[in-house]
A = this chain, B = another copy of it.
Amino acid sequence: MKQEKAVVVFSGGQDSTTCLFWALKQFKEVTTVTFDYGQRHHAEIECARNIAEELGVSFKVLDMTLINQLSANALTRDTIKITEEVGELPSTFVPGRNHLFFSFAAVYAQAIGARHLVTGVSETDFSGYPDCRDTFVKSLNVTLNLAMDAKFVMHTPLMWLDKASVWELSDQLGAFDFIQQRTLTCYNGIPAAGCGTCPACKLRSQGLEEYLERREA
């Protein structure tokens, strides 16, 4: 794979930034693609762009505002409260969102001559999104290859890692400090440690504590 090109589906969060560092070790050339679907925090896109620039990889924003024609949701409508119950399907859910994103990423990859697709989805911290599951990704990989007569390989380096292990991986990749300081995970748009109270911040900080305890032990 060292001689090949990869496209990383990139949001500027902890997970996809870890994947970006991972991809930079695996592939000759890495491109990031991010999706603008009118999410509340445009800060997220700027954060992603800054990280890509700093790491010297190209950065492509694809306009996906079309998906808002199809379903109202809390990420794009400020009036809907973000669900905070653990275990429920979050109100931020756009059905099939990852399916659409990965499919566009594949068409883009083919256009630039890349066949490797990297995403940070994980089944471990299962959030109720069916299109984060391993079985979905494998099925989509087959479907894309049939759809485009292609040989895409979808990589999901975080699929079976819990958040503590994602921190561990970033440490192994020499990216621990960078990711802690520069990524944006928070639903309320606050970078690094974030607001500390939204579900995404809680997951991130719990994983970090767990990893730090493990590292010190």
Question: Is A133 within 8 A of B146, CB to CB?
Answer: yes
Q: State the majority secondary structure of interface residues on A.
A: helix
Contact with B along A44-81 (1 / 0, CB 8 A): 00000000000000000011101101110000000000
Complex contacts, A131 vs chain B, CB 8 Å: 146-148
When all copies of this chain in the complex are counted, the total is 2
* CB of A179 within 8 Å of the partner chain: no
From B64, B69, B70, B103, contact of A96 by CB (8 A): B103
Count contacts on A: residues with CB < 8 A to the other chain.
34
Q: Which of A12-20, A135-143, A208-216 lies on the face that meets chain B?
A: A135-143
* CB of A100 within 8 Å of the partner chain: yes
From B99, B130, B148, contact of A103 by CB (8 A): B99
From B99, B111, B135, contact of A144 by CB (8 A): B99
Complex contacts, A22 vs chain B, CB 8 Å: none
Contacts A62-B69, A69-B62 given; indicate if A130 touches B147 (C-beta within 8 A): yes
Chosen A-B contacts, 16 in total, with CB atoms closer than 8 Å, are A62-B66, A70-B104, A71-B107, A95-B110, A95-B111, A96-B147, A99-B103, A99-B144, A99-B147, A99-B148, A100-B103, A100-B107, A130-B148, A133-B146, A136-B143, A139-B142
4 tightest CB-CB pairs across the interface, nearest first?
A: A99-B147, A136-B146, A131-B147, A130-B149
